[in-house]
Structure 1
Amino acid sequence: MTALIIVLLIVFGIVLLLLEFLVIPGITVAAIGGVLMIVGGIYMSYDHYGSSIGHLTILATVIFGIISLFLALKSKTWNKIMLNTEVDSKVQKLDDENINIGDQGICVSRLAPMGKVKLDQKIVEARSTGSYVDEKTKVIVVGIVDKVVIVKPI
């Protein structure tokens, strides 16, 4: 029973360290817990089975840790759990010169500071002059910068 506890402490400790190195940024409870579990497992092996088994436990822990790290860093391992989606949408840019300064419209969504505005029966992406503009508020076009409509509430 003690041998099972020692093995589980070392395995869970190495798993926590791998999570810390590869998934969780910074030094967190996972790293501290992983180190404590590994040290606890090695201490228990020395305490219950003597120094020769303790030395073998350290050797086995190092070998298991290196093999685990090697398998975790292989690219095929991460390809199995990686999200494989592509973003193929584009930001809607203003078409021609259909929208002019002074045109009036209504907000289709909240401008915080970007949102949708209905101008001349067309829904376009617009940016407010800095303040939040609620939905269904009447707005006026005050500028067009890099094909982005700039509006302010009326």
Structure 2
Amino acid sequence: MTILILSSLLIIGLILLMAETLFIPGTTVVGVLGLLISLAGVAYAFLTFPANIAWWITAIATVLNIAAVVYSFQSGVWQKLTLKNALEGGVFDGRTKGLEKGMEGKAISDLKPIGKGLFGDSIFEVKSESGFISVDSIITIMKIENNQILVK
């Protein structure tokens, strides 16, 4: 019965450590729980076996736990879980290119205070500085900042 309890504690601790690194990385709760259960198994070994056998059990448990963690990191799971792409856009991505302050256009929807404005041949989302502007009104660009076109 002693061997069953000891092996159960050590195997459950090992499984939880591997589960942390292979299946649910980043939570640390499962890994810490696995480490605590493994330590409980080592403590149980020292309580029930002579010291020299308990030290052997400790050494074997330590080697197996380290080997399991190293294997888990080398298995390639982390490569499948990591982000490899980056976003290319930024705050200013050229959406308002060709527009400048003072340029006149036409409201093609009601601006309440945001709507659509026509400048040249292009339609842009604009924001009214003065509140509501009705459709087909002439609008003037007052400011362009952070891809936002403020009109009056």
Q: TM-score range by the shorter chain?
A: 0.5 to 0.7
Structure 2 gap ranges (5+): none
Give the 3 Å change call, closer, same or farther, for CA 144–59 of structure 1 in structure 2: same
Structure 1 partner of 2:11: 8
Structure 2 partner of 1:122: 123
Q: Deviations over 1:119-149 (max 9, x none)?
A: 216144x6898xxx9xxx7597530136x23
Name the amino acid aligned to 1:5.
S
State the shift of 1:38 in Å: 1.8
State the shift of 1:2 in Å: 1.9
Q: Which structure has the bigger radius of gyration?
A: 2
Alpha-carbon distance in structure 1 between the residues aligned to 2:72 and 2:86: 24
| Larger relative contact order (Cα-Cα within 8 Å, sequence gap ≥ 6) | 2
Structure 2 partner of 1:114: none
| TM-score, normalised by the number of residues in structure 1 | 0.54
Name the amino acid aligned to 1:39.
L
| TM-score, normalised by the number of residues in structure 2 | 0.55
2:21 is the alignment partner of 1:23: no
Give the 3 Å change call, closer, same or farther, for CA 32–77 of structure 1 in structure 2: closer
State the shift of 1:29 in Å: 4.2
Residue 13 of structure 1 contacts residue 33 of structure 1 at CA under 8 Å; is this kept in 2? yes
Write the mapping of 1:4-83 to structure 2, written as runs, cut at 5 A: 4-12=7-15, 14-15=17-18, 18=21, 23-24=26-27, 29-30=29-30, 32-74=32-74, 76-83=76-83
State the shift of 1:59 in Å: 0.7
Alpha-carbon distance in structure 2 between the residues aligned to 1:93 and 1:34: 52
Q: Tell me the percent identity.
A: 13
SS in structure 2 at match of 1:143: strand
SS in structure 2 at match of 1:151: strand
